[in-house]
Amino acid sequence: MTSKLFLALLLLPFSGLAQDDPAGVDMLDTAVVVVAPPTSVIAVDHKYDKGERIDLTWVPSIDDQLVEGKVLAYRIYRIVNDGGPQLVADVATGVGPYQYADEDLHRDSIYSYYVAAVSSNYEAASTRTAPMSPQREWMNLDRKWLFLIALIVGGSVLLFITAARRGTKLFVRKIAGLEAVDEAVGRATEMGRPILFVPGIRDMDDVQTLAALTILGRVSRVIADYDTRIFMPTSRSLVMTAGRETVKAAYQAAGRPDKYSDDMVTYYTDEQFGYVAAVDGVMVREKPATVFLLGAFFAESLILAETGNYIGAIQIGGTARPAQLPFFIAACDFTLIGEELFAASAYLSGEPMQLGSLKGQDVGKAIAMIAIIVGAVAITIGEAWDVEFMHDIVTWLSGVFSTR
């Protein structure tokens, strides 16, 4: 008891509880659960952030390591610019590593910390860490591999664009869905029926909607030339505005600005199924000869595509949502699968520079293929025969392609 009392008195100046409580010494008589403080409290600047975070680690109190349940929690105290200590957080014991990330700090302040082990009625504080300020880094080196891969893929796209500009012949495989665009527009013209263009249900911040608009640009040029009617219902106001600009510009470029009307592109509702009901209604009433379903689609894909099929329209579907592709493949005449949607405008333009950009994607695919094959072989051999070197390869590859 005397040694415990001595230890407690020794720790008294560091203990927040004892300082706050004038009856602290009296409490020692009533079975105080004295615990040893945590040690080796280290504060380090969080790497690769904008200077807002300090990471703390500590070695748990010896009492926590020896007796379960004696230390209830660790209290983190922060001292800012030589001010008084502020309680920042309680960290539970026994779960996970002993660490804490102090966030939302300022680069121009100086911080030091101490951690206290808390028992049911006692608090033992560690020594203070050296004063420090969080640092701001200008490059996130955790993402160096991402940077490198982006550089290689982006660089190769640029390289092939340059090569194409110099006149190198590039082969791009035939995409049936895009070969059919002219025919589909021609069919509508012959039948004297309109074309329906559905740009998906997402807004302009979805790259699939952008892809749909680039195709709309090409399609409306053909439409303007043939003088066919186009109807484009949208489920987002911004898509309506952008769609109008695109169609209008195509009519102007074709020398027929007078044929353009704002009624070609209209807005219905943001509500997913409300929009579907409206578009289905248009399909059944207007009976378009050709239906384009290009962009981001969700559960409505099959409802739209089946209605299009029912009215006997030629349908060209395309989306980068893998879950909806099977529905388009089942119900549309042609389907642009994922990347084909993004390639469509370049393909339709037939310009060497645009085709060059498609060729650049192949380098990315080659990297992906090599990584998949090497990874699959390494993990198979590594697991089957426990080869250290193969494990290393797997770890390295996971590190390279990790997004954290």
Partner 1 sequence: MFKRRIPLFILAFVGTLLIVSVFIPPMENLGEDFTLFFDIIAVFAFFLGGGNLVRIHFGKLRRRKKDWGFSIVTLVAFFFMLTIGLLKVSSVGGVWNIPLLGIGDPAAIAASPTTEGSWFQETFNYVINPLQSTMYALLAFFVASASYRAFRAKNREATLLLLAAFIILLGRTPFGMELTRWVPESFSVLQIPNMAIWIMNSPNLAGQRAILIGIGLGVVSMSLRLILGIERSYLGEDRG
Partner 2 sequence: MGKRHWILLGAIVAVIIIAAVLWLFPKERWGTVFSLLLVFGGLVALLLRSLYAKEVERRIIFLFILVAVAAPILFPITFTEKPTAVVQAVFDKIENLPSGSTVLLSFDFDPAMAPEVQPMANAISRHCLEKGHKVIFMSLWATGQALLSQSLSDYILLGFPDKVDGVDYVNIGYKAGNEGVLNVIVSNFEKMFPTDVNSVPLKDIRIFDDIASAKDVDFIMSIGGGMPGPKEWVLFVGDPGDVDVGVGVAAVVAPQMYPYYPAQVIGILGGVKGAAEYEYALKDAYPVFADMDTPGLRMMGPQTLAHIVILSFIVIGNIIYFRGRRERKQ
List Cα–Cα distances, 228 to 185, 223, 304, in angstroms.
Answer: 8, 5, 22
312-341: which residues touch partner 1 (CB under 8 A)?
Answer: 320, 322, 325, 327, 329-331, 337-341
Beta bridge mates, 243:
none
80 near partner 1, rule: CB under 8 A:
no
Per CB under 8 A, the list member of 103, 190, 270, 351 interacting with partner 2 is 103
226 near partner 2, rule: CB under 8 A:
no
CA distance linking residue 55 with residue 91, whole number of Å = 14
Residue 198's contacts (CB-CB under 8 Å, 6 or more residues apart) are 232, 233, 279, 291, 292, 293, 294, 295, 304
398 near partner 1, rule: CB under 8 A:
no
Residue 404, binding choice from partner 2, partner 1, none, Cβ under 5 to 8 Å by partner class = partner 2
Per CB under 8 A, the list member of 299, 372, 374, 376 interacting with partner 2 is 299
Please, are residues 321 and 298 in contact by the beta-carbon 8 Å criterion?
yes
396 near partner 2, rule: CB under 8 A:
no
49: amino acid identity, one letter:
D
Tokens at 180, concatenated = 């059919």
**How many residues can be counted in the chain?**
404
306 near partner 1, rule: CB under 8 A:
yes
Give 96 or 192: the residue with its C-beta nearer to partner 1. Answer: 192
Compute the least distance from the CB of residue 240 to partner 1, in Å: 6
Contact characters 246-265, partner 2, x per CB under 8 A = --------------------
Tell me, by CB under 8 A, how many residues bind partner 1: 97
**CA proximity to 60, closest of 126, 136, 158, 151:** 126
Please, are residues 217 and 349 in contact by the beta-carbon 8 Å criterion?
no
Q: What is the DSSP string of 6-65?
A: HHHHHHGGG-HHHHH-TTHHHHTTTT----PPPEEEEEEEPTTSBS--EEEEEEPPHHHH
Give 151 or 284: the residue with its C-beta nearer to partner 2. Answer: 284
Per CB under 8 A, the list member of 12, 80, 89, 397 interacting with partner 2 is 89
DSSP 140: -
Q: Which is it for the CA torsion 364, 368, 374, 375, positive or negative?
A: positive
Q: Spell out where 172-278 has E strands.
A: 195-200, 230-234, 265-267
Count of CB atoms situated within 10 Å of the CB of 352 = 18
With 0-12 CB in 10 A as exposed, 13-18 as middle and 19+ as buried, what is 267?
Answer: middle
303 near partner 1, rule: CB under 8 A:
yes
187 near partner 1, rule: CB under 8 A:
no
368 near partner 1, rule: CB under 8 A:
yes
239-278: which residues touch partner 1 (CB under 8 A)?
Answer: 240-242, 245-253, 262-263, 266-274, 276-277
Per CB under 8 A, the list member of 310, 373, 396, 399 interacting with partner 2 is 310
Give 18 or 242: the residue with its C-beta nearer to partner 1. Answer: 242
Please, are residues 342 and 135 in contact by the beta-carbon 8 Å criterion?
no
Residue 49, binding choice from partner 1, partner 2, none, Cβ under 5 to 8 Å by partner class = partner 1
273 near partner 2, rule: CB under 8 A:
yes
Compute the least distance from the CB of residue 180 to partner 1, in Å: 18
Compute the least distance from the CB of residue 346 to partner 1, in Å: 7
323 near partner 2, rule: CB under 8 A:
yes
Per CB under 8 A, the list member of 14, 48, 145, 298 interacting with partner 2 is 298
Instruction: Please give the residue ranges that form the binding site for partner 2 (CB under 8 A).
Output: 89-90, 92, 101, 103, 272-273, 298-299, 310, 322-323, 403-404
